[in-house]
Structure 1
Amino acid sequence: MEMFKNILIIRFSSIGDIVLTSPLLRILRKSFPDSNIDFLIRKEYSELVKFNPNVNNIIEFDTLEGLRGLYNIANQIKSKRYDLVLDLHNNWRSNYIKYFSKAKFYTINKRVLKRFFLIKFKIDLFKEYISVVDKYIETIKFLNVKNDNNGLDLFYPDNLSVNFHQKFKDLALENYNLLIGVAPSAKHYTKIWPAQKYIELLSNILQQFNAFVFMFGSKNEADYINMITKAVIEHTNKNSILNMAGKLSLLETAAVLDRCNLMITNDTGLMHIAAARKRKVVAIFGSTVRQFGFFPHGTENIVVENNNLKCRPCTHIGRNRCPEKHFKCMQDITVDKVFNAFKNILNIK
């Protein structure tokens, strides 16, 4: 096997894409236990790899620094004289960095042409669902290594577990039979199952089960999620639901998810965090499809989706509006369908 002493991984964003790099990092560390493995990442996502024992150093890119910041990072990387660069992003920034590095490099094959044919002409050239995890691992196929099928990793310090007990001790969570995580929002509109459906689903769950629900999301999503939370409380007259949107870091979210029996989520980054912590996942897919490689990886899951539409998929990342103006990919997914998926994954008759 060819030896590499100094390795750089490039993946700037976003949450899910970065979490999905963890099997590659694990395989690289096993193949090169004494090598230096660095990770180039956008500053706001660096906590996702900060405690990963398979990473030696994190190089943070601050987008606020613009081209000058990118130029400075390129000089820094050139000075480190990497033997191998793995470009898992394949955009103009990563191309600039890897060419500037003067190192041997390999780049992810995103299947852009197949993706284009599926979105534009609804011609499916994908022979199977290939996870982004395996697309990342393809960059080191010259090493004759394979996916170890041990799922995703996401590491956080022990003190977050202690903080969990301190923060939520007044909730008496030990009195509930089920702890459920819910991520009801997303960056793009066409990835969001409607709020009213979440309200009905969570009301049904709280009325029929002795359950407590944690609502997760970003600071920008806090008001939207708070609206859902308040509506569920009003419908059920129960306070066993708590909006944590914007109040937790990504690793704190992972620590709370560790106490949950399952996660109900749209196709979003928190879905991958739940999978990395080996939680059961019920994922609701709208405008996106599993052929793109983004689905709950390495954990028990049920993907709920509408496969009866000729217009789907209309995008690989999500849209801010439905181009057909009917939004049937989400509107036609009934509360009963998701509720049944919830019961099935928990083996509830």
Structure 2
Amino acid sequence: MREIKEICICRIDRIGDLIMTTPILRSIRKEFPNSKITLLVSPINSKVLKESELIDEMIVIDKKNKLWKNDEILRKIRKRSFDLFVNFSPTNLSYFLCFFSNSKNKSTLILKSRYKNKFSKIFIHFLSKIFCNHIILVNRNKLFKNNLDFHQTKMMYALIEKIFNRSFNYENLEIPILPNKKIKLNYLSKKIITLHLSNRWLNKYYNLENLKILIENINLNQDYLIFLTTEKYEDKNFYKLTNNYNKLQILDFVNLEQFNKKISKTNIFVLDYFKYEDWLYIINNSDRVITPEGGCVHVAAGLNKYVTVIYDNDNLPEYIYTEYMPWKTKHQKLVFGINEINKEILTDLN
């Protein structure tokens, strides 16, 4: 491939997907240190690589935008005429942006559905053959049945290896984290356990009472400080649980005297109204992160934190684990309905 001055990477989906793309961004940055890398992101994952030297520019694309708004962004992309456009996102909008990007070289990853029939993505595959220079079609069901690895990061590496016709060393996950003047935790003598309150905790195998018992049992060890992080402020599914514990806000961390008084009375806190960068800082200072499978898993892995991941027994747990397991990070894998969740977490903690 001739000299590449401008590269566009499309990752307009979730936080975890973008984090799992960071090893590829590092490999491309090493291969083309003088190239300008533009990253297309979604509103939800746009905070992940803010301040990162892996990219030079970020363009936020909201799938909920009205057609004219995304058409305006497409015109902007077409005007740039990138030397290389690489699409990693499995959305119709991302394929559309790739096909009509006016880039000199267009490449895409196509993930066949894990749930639908064998004709999944057949039209996208057909169009990709017309518009793209390089395609990797991933038949995840077939790979899983044959016990082959199809981790998402490896599939992305397969695409760039096809584009550049060479192999790459697998890089680590990267999340930029800046010094946080609002939160000081380095003076604490207790170990921090962050338990993320995702709605995936609640299912036919595990309920709110089970979760409360887990938290109270962890709290029996007075060496632990337990932070419960929420996805939504006072999520109605967890209100009965979180209402039992004191809430911490950013201002509590700023006033260290007040913070010390609070942690002298209890070891369990709910962190509310936390911005992404503050939540990130809490996880970076944690000794253990406990969460059902989701974006928090990859945030913890990106910060090289030991994470307990709990998978949904009714949603192909071994399949999901193969595709989304924490990349190159130590972790504990559990499955609702198969493992004794509380017992195994407490045993591993001790």
Q: Which runs of 5+ in 1 are unaligned?
A: 307-327
For 2:189, give the aligned amino acid: N
Shift of 1:291: 2.7
In the TM superposition, what whole-angstrom CA distance separates every residue of 1:255-312 from its partner, at most 9, and x where no partner exists?
Answer: 1111110100000111110110000001111134243411222211011125xxxxxx
- How many equivalent residue pairs? 305
Query: Paired residue for 1:110?
Result: 111
Are 1:164 and 2:171 counterparts?
no
Query: Paired residue for 1:205?
Result: 218
Query: Paired residue for 1:318?
Result: none
The higher-RCO structure (CA 8 Å, 6+ apart) is: 1
Q: Secondary structure at the match of 1:163?
A: coil
Residue 335 to residue 113, structure 1, CA distance change in 2 (3 Å): closer
Query: Paired residue for 2:328?
Result: 298
In the TM superposition, what whole-angstrom CA distance separates every residue of 1:52-97 from its partner, at most 9, and x where no partner exists?
Answer: 2111100111344321111111100000111111111132101111
Which of 270, 274, 280 lines up with 1:254 in the alignment? 280
Percent identical: 19
Shift of 1:223: 4.3
| 2-structure distance, mates of 1:192, 1:269 | 22
Query: Paired residue for 2:260?
Result: none
Query: Paired residue for 2:189?
Result: 175
Which of 174, 182, 186 lines up with 1:153 in the alignment? 174
Shift of 1:208: 2.9
Considering fraction of residues, name the structure with more helix.
1
Residue 68 to residue 294, structure 1, CA distance change in 2 (3 Å): same
TM-score (norm. length: structure 1): 0.78
Query: Paired residue for 1:132?
Result: 152
| 2-structure distance, mates of 1:194, 1:183 | 15
Are 1:339 and 2:340 counterparts?
no
Shift of 1:191: 10
Shift of 1:133: 1.1
| 2-structure distance, mates of 1:74, 1:192 | 46
Shift of 1:113: 6.0
Map 1:174-193 onto structure 2 (within 5 A). 174-176=188-190, 178-186=191-199, 193=206
Query: Paired residue for 1:18?
Result: 18
Shift of 1:114: 8.4
| 1-structure distance, mates of 2:241, 2:284 | 23
The alignment's C-alpha RMSD in Å is 3.0
Q: Which runs of 5+ in 2 are unaligned?
A: 119-140, 247-263
Contact 2:42 2:61 in 1 (8 A): yes
Query: Paired residue for 2:121?
Result: none
Map 1:1-349 onto structure 2 (within 5 A). 2-103=2-103, 104-112=105-113, 124-142=144-162, 143-146=164-167, 148-158=169-179, 160=180, 162-165=181-184, 174-176=188-190, 178-186=191-199, 193-219=206-232, 222-231=235-244, 239-245=266-272, 247-286=273-312, 287-292=315-320, 293-305=323-335, 328=337, 333-340=340-347, 342-343=348-349, 348=350
Shift of 1:141: 1.2
Q: Secondary structure at the match of 2:33?
A: coil
Residue 2 to residue 189, structure 1, CA distance change in 2 (3 Å): farther
